[in-house]
């Protein structure tokens, strides 16, 4: 280590030339060399031009060279170009004698080209005359520390800039740090919260259990995430999604809590909205089927706990499909909205009103002590729904059919109760609608029956299981056959003859009435032509129409083609349309009826008196006759009211230029009363029941040439 300047004492010993001194010198040098080469810091000697003379292992390792390779390299070429001017200045200052040493942090270039940060102390060595002889540099590799600092700076920046609010508290949960997002979100500046407990943010609305769970999770797992309610500095309360993590030191002692949170008001609103939409019917805003299931389940649990009873009322609007189809969906929708509102207004807050879909609603009556209480609520619902509806300036009647089932008698779970209320409701429908029925186990049979009907009708039509019967209509004056009404029956191979009242409503609701009605028309025309061929008189055949048939735009065309195909004239056919159907969508119906009328076919309004006819419209309908409903005829002799209705209807019809057909005439007294009032035509069991074509032919064959049925009836009476 020749380049090293021997220490003063060693030099002195050298000069003395003594043996022991030389040994001491050698030992000293060996020590220094060991120190030099084993040092963990890099040490380098350089000449005054900054060329390396000698470096130790640590220095060479730091820069990726061998000590040999470094010898003769200049300091400048090992320095990062950006840091070179700085060092050059210092070196120059030492050379000029302005300073003896300098300390800098600088970047070296590793052999591989990467940067190495060094903390460098350089001192110049001078001879006795003060001339610079060499430079000694001691350098520590601080690359790791530098990276860490950069990392920390970055983290600090992230902490400041991140969108999430961050709050750091110490082991005693006193706030020590918050970021900008925290201030933006809570409204508190850092100095307002330092040293305080984060509970100052709480809105006091989060249930205590949530906090208990939070602390338990922190203790067990060291982190927690959840939603809590906080209050801003301005007082506004908001939900936030909070995550907390515990920070521990090397020995596992808690040092900090780190809490990150964001405002989830919007998220919550969206979530609530989605939940609301999933559980509510968009038209009426009422709970939907899914929600009902949930609420009914809860109500049943409560009823069970409190030993109370509960009523499930299923409500279905009668003939809603007809209203919807004939008046349009907007009217149907408005009706459903009003129905929902009426139901809700009629029950207590704890009761549930839900819409199952279509025109089906459910009311769950809770907290009732007895069945009577539930029944009185049901009665109230029935009453409120029976009131006329005002929709788009028109008055509409839509009666409900309701079925009730009781917990626990009729079922212990939601499914059974709903199924049984449904069966009761169908029973109410079959009992003439517009009423209320309680579940009765026998009803399941009725529901099954309806189901069978619904699923069998299409097959029945396809396999030709329908037949027409014909009922005579007679002229009041002469008592002779004027026409027949075609009435459809279903000849079910399993159950025999099924009357139309059982399946026509189902066919109307399912839409099957359109092809079925077409078949009836076709069959009636075929039969009429067959009678012509047999030489029977030219009495006309009346056919009942459903409003759904009239809604087909080309219905008049269908009828025209039918007459032509069977070689009939318009006089061979009469069409009957019920009062309620005709009044459903008056303007559209009038237009359609006008087209039929223009073909020369006569038309009758059926079941007159049972609907809510407006006389103004009646005048506009291109009809020829009214059929007085048999419910009025039935009680002519006993009910003064019905008698008056009959005579008033006849007078009214005549005033409008219409003739009147009385239906359901069963007794001579009824016949005489009706004739006295001037009734034009009569139909009923008194003259003939509906008969098959063959039976009718046989009956007609037994009459005189004028086909006088009255004399036949008289013969039977006496
Ligand atoms: P509607 O048009 O009012 O037919 C008259 C109903 O009264 C028939 O019942 C008939 O059998 C019955 N009737 C006749 N005379 C008497 C009587 O003196 N006393 C009593 N108690 N009843 C009498 P039906 O055949 O059961 O038909 C019931 C309803 O089914 C019909 O009432 C009609 O609305 C409907 N319907 C029948 N056939 C068809 C059809 O082809 N198409 C459509 N859309 N509906 C039909
Ligand atoms: Ca009829
Ligand atoms: Ca009728």
The tens digit of pLDDT for each residue in 560-581 reads 999 999 999 999 999 999 877 7
Structural contact between residues 405 and 427, judged by C-beta atoms closer than 8 angstroms: no
User: What ligand 1 atom has the least distance to the C-alpha of 517?
Assistant: 42
Q: What is the pLDDT of residues 678-708, one digit of tens each?
A: 999 999 999 999 999 999 999 999 888 788 8
Whether the CB of 520 sits within 6 Å of ligand 1:
yes
CATH code, domain carrying 344: 3.30.70.270
Least confident of 88-102, 336-350, 634-648, 667-681: 634-648
Same domain? 580 vs 547 = yes
Residue 692's CB is within 10 A of a number of other CB atoms, namely 13
615 band by pLDDT with thresholds 50, 70 and 90: low
User: What ligand 1 atom has the least distance to the C-alpha of 629?
Assistant: 3
Instruction: Identify the domain containing residue 423 by its residue range.
Output: 282-441
HEC profile of 238-306: EEEEEEEEEEECCCCCEEEEEEEEEECHHHHHHHHHHHHHHHECCCCCCECHHHHHHHHHHHHHHHHHH
Q: What is the mean pLDDT of residues 169-179?
A: 94
Q: What is the pLDDT of residues 383-425, one digit of tens each?
A: 899 899 998 888 888 889 999 999 998 999 999 999 999 988 9
Same domain? 532 vs 643 = yes
pLDDT of residue 327: 82
Whether the CB of 685 sits within 6 Å of ligand 1:
yes
User: What ligand 1 atom has the least distance to the C-alpha of 513?
Assistant: 44
Which residue's C-alpha comes closest to atom 27 of ligand 1?
500
1 band by pLDDT with thresholds 50, 70 and 90: very low
Q: Of the residues 487, 682, 692, which should be mutated to test ligand 1's pocket, given the most ligand atoms within 8 Å of the CB?
A: 487
Question: Which of 383, 411, 441 represents a domain boundary (last residue)?
Answer: 441
Whether the CB of 54 sits within 6 Å of ligand 1:
no
Q: What is the pLDDT of residues 287-338, one digit of tens each?
A: 999 899 999 999 999 999 998 899 999 999 987 888 888 788 899 999 999 9
Q: What is the mean pLDDT of residues 102-125?
A: 95
Rounded percentage of the chain residues whose pLDDT exceeds 70: 94
Is the pLDDT at 715 greater than 70, yes or no?
no
644 band by pLDDT with thresholds 50, 70 and 90: confident
Q: How far is CA 282 from CA 286, 324, 337, in A?
A: 8, 18, 10
CATH code, domain carrying 528: 3.20.20.450
pLDDT of residue 3: 46
Same domain? 668 vs 575 = yes
pLDDT of residue 612: 58
Least confident of 18-22, 320-324, 549-553, 687-691: 18-22
Same domain? 646 vs 524 = yes
Q: Of the residues 626, 663, 670, which should be mutated to test ligand 1's pocket, given the most ligand atoms within 8 Å of the CB?
A: 663
Same domain? 265 vs 287 = no
Same domain? 517 vs 625 = yes
pLDDT of residue 616: 64
Same domain? 469 vs 582 = yes
What is the tally of structural domains in the chain? Answer: 4
Whether the CB of 499 sits within 6 Å of ligand 1:
yes
CATH code, domain carrying 70: 3.30.450.20
Whether the CB of 664 sits within 6 Å of ligand 1:
yes
pLDDT of residue 640: 87
Which residue's C-alpha comes closest to atom 23 of ligand 1?
664
Nearest CA among 409, 427, 439, 382 for reference residue 310:
409
Whether the CB of 517 sits within 6 Å of ligand 1:
yes
Is 96 among the domain residues?
Answer: yes
Q: What is the mean pLDDT of residues 86-104?
A: 93
What is the enclosing helix (H) or strand (E) of 55?
strand 52-55
Same domain? 41 vs 107 = yes
Q: What is the pLDDT of residues 191-211, one digit of tens each?
A: 999 999 999 999 888 889 999
Q: Which residue has the higher pLDDT, 8 or 70?
A: 70
CA of 629 to the centre of ligand 3 (A): 5
Same domain? 291 vs 260 = no
Same domain? 354 vs 483 = no
Q: What is the mean pLDDT of residues 649-675?
A: 93
Whether the CB of 471 sits within 6 Å of ligand 1:
yes
Q: What are residue 704's phi and psi, to 5 degrees?
A: -70, 180
Residue 572 DSSP code: G
- Residues 493 and 460: their CA atoms lie apart, in Å, by 9
Whether the CB of 524 sits within 6 Å of ligand 1:
no
Is the pLDDT at 159 greater than 70, yes or no?
yes
CA of 635 to the centre of ligand 2 (A): 19
Q: What is the pLDDT of residues 46-60, one digit of tens each?
A: 999 899 999 999 999
6 band by pLDDT with thresholds 50, 70 and 90: very low
CA of 644 to the centre of ligand 3 (A): 19
Whether the CB of 519 sits within 6 Å of ligand 1:
no
480 band by pLDDT with thresholds 50, 70 and 90: very high
Is the pLDDT at 5 greater than 70, yes or no?
no
Q: Would you mind telling me the total number of residues written for the chain in this entry?
A: 718
- Residues 692 and 469: their CA atoms lie apart, in Å, by 5
pTM higher than the cut 0.75:
no
Which residue's C-alpha comes closest to atom 3 of ligand 1?
607
Which residue's C-alpha comes closest to atom 42 of ligand 1?
544
Which residue's C-alpha comes closest to atom 16 of ligand 1?
664
pLDDT of residue 318: 84
Same domain? 174 vs 48 = no
């Amino acid at each position: 280590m020749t380049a090293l300047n021997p220490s003063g004492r060693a030099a002195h010993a050298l000069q003395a030339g003594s043996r022991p001194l030389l040994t001491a010198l050698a030992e000293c040098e060996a020590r220094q060399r060991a120190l030099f080469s084993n040092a963990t810091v890099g040490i380098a000697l350089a000449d005054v031009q900054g060329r390396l003379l000698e470096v130790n292992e640590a220095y060479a390792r730091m820069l990726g060279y061998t000590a040999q390779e470094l010898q003769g390299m200049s300091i400048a070429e090992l320095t990062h170009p950006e840091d070179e001017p700085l060092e050059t200045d210092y070196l120059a200052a030492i050379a000029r004698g302005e300073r003896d040493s300098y300390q800098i942090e600088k970047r070296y270039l590793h052999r591989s080209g990467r940067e190495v940060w060094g903390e460098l102390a350089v001192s110049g060595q001078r001879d006795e005359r003060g001339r610079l002889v060499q430079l000694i540099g001691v350098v520590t590799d601080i690359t790791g520390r530098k990276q860490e600092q950069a990392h920390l700076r970055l983290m600090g920046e992230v902490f400041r800039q991140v969108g999430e609010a961050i709050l750091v508290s110490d082991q005693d949960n006193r706030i020590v740090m918050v970021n900008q997002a925290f201030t933006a979100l809570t409204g508190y500046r850092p100095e307002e919260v330092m040293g305080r407990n984060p509970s100052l943010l709480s809105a006091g609305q989060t249930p205590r259990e949530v906090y208990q769970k939070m602390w338990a999770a922190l203790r067990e797992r060291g982190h927690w995430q959840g939603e809590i309610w906080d209050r801003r500095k301005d007082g506004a309360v908001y939900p936030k999604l909070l995550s907390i993590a515990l920070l521990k030191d090397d020995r596992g002692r808690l040092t900090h809590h780190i809490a990150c949170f964001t405002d989830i008001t919007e998220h919550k609103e969206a979530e609530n909205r989605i939940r609301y939409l999933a559980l509510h019917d968009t038209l009426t805003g009422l709970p939907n089927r899914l929600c009902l299931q949930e609420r009914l389940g809860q109500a049943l649990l409560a009823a069970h706990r409190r030993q109370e009873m509960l009523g499930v009322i299923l409500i279905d609007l009668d003939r809603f499909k007809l209203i919807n189809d004939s008046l349009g969906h907007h009217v149907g929708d408005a009706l459903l909205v009003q129905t929902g509102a009426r139901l809700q207004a009629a029950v207590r807050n704890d009761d549930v009103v839900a819409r199952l879909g279509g025109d089906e609603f459910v009311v769950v009556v809770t907290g009732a002590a007895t069945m009577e209480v539930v029944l009185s609520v049901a009665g109230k619902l029935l009453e409120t729904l029976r009131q006329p509806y005002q929709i788009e300036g028109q008055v509409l009647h839509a009666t409900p059919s309701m079925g009730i089932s009781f917990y626990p008698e009729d079922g212990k779970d939601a499914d059974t109760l709903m199924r049984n209320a449904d069966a009761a409701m169908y029973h109410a429908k079959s009992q003439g609608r517009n009423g209320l029925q309680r579940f009765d186990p026998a009803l399941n049979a009725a529901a099954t029956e309806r189901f069978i009907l619904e699923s069998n009708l299409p097959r029945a039509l396809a396999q030709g299981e329908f037949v027409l019967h014909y009922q005579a209509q007679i002229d009041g004056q002469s008592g002779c056959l004027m026409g027949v009404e075609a009435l459809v029956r279903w000849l079910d191979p399993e159950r025999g003859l099924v009357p139309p009242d059982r399946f026509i409503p189902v066919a109307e609701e399912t839409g099957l009435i359109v092809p079925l009605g077409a078949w009836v028309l076709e069959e009636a025309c075929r039969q009429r032509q067959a009678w012509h061929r047999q030489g029977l008189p030219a009495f006309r055949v009346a056919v009942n129409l459903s409003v759904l048939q009239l809604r087909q735009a080309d219905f008049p065309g269908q009828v025209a083609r039918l007459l032509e195909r069977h070689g009939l004239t318009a006089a061979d056919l009469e069409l009957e349309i019920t009062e309620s159907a005709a009044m459903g969508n008056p303007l559209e119906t009038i237009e359609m009826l006008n087209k039929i009328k223009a073909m020369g076919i006569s038309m009758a309004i059926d079941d007159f008196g049972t609907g809510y006819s407006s006389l103004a419209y009646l005048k506009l309908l291109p009809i020829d006759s009214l059929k007085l409903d048999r419910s009025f005829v039935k009680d002519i002799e006993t009910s003064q009211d019905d008698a008056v209705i009959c005579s008033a209807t006849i007078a009214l019809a005549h005033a409008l230029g219409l003739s009147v057909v009385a239906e359901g005439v069963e007794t001579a007294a009824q016949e005489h009363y009706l004739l006295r009032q001037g009734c034009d035509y009569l139909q009923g069991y008194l003259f003939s029941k509906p008969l098959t074509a063959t039976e009718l032919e046989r009956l007609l064959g037994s009459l005189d040439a004028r086909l006088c049925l009255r004399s036949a009836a008289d013969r039977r009476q006496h």
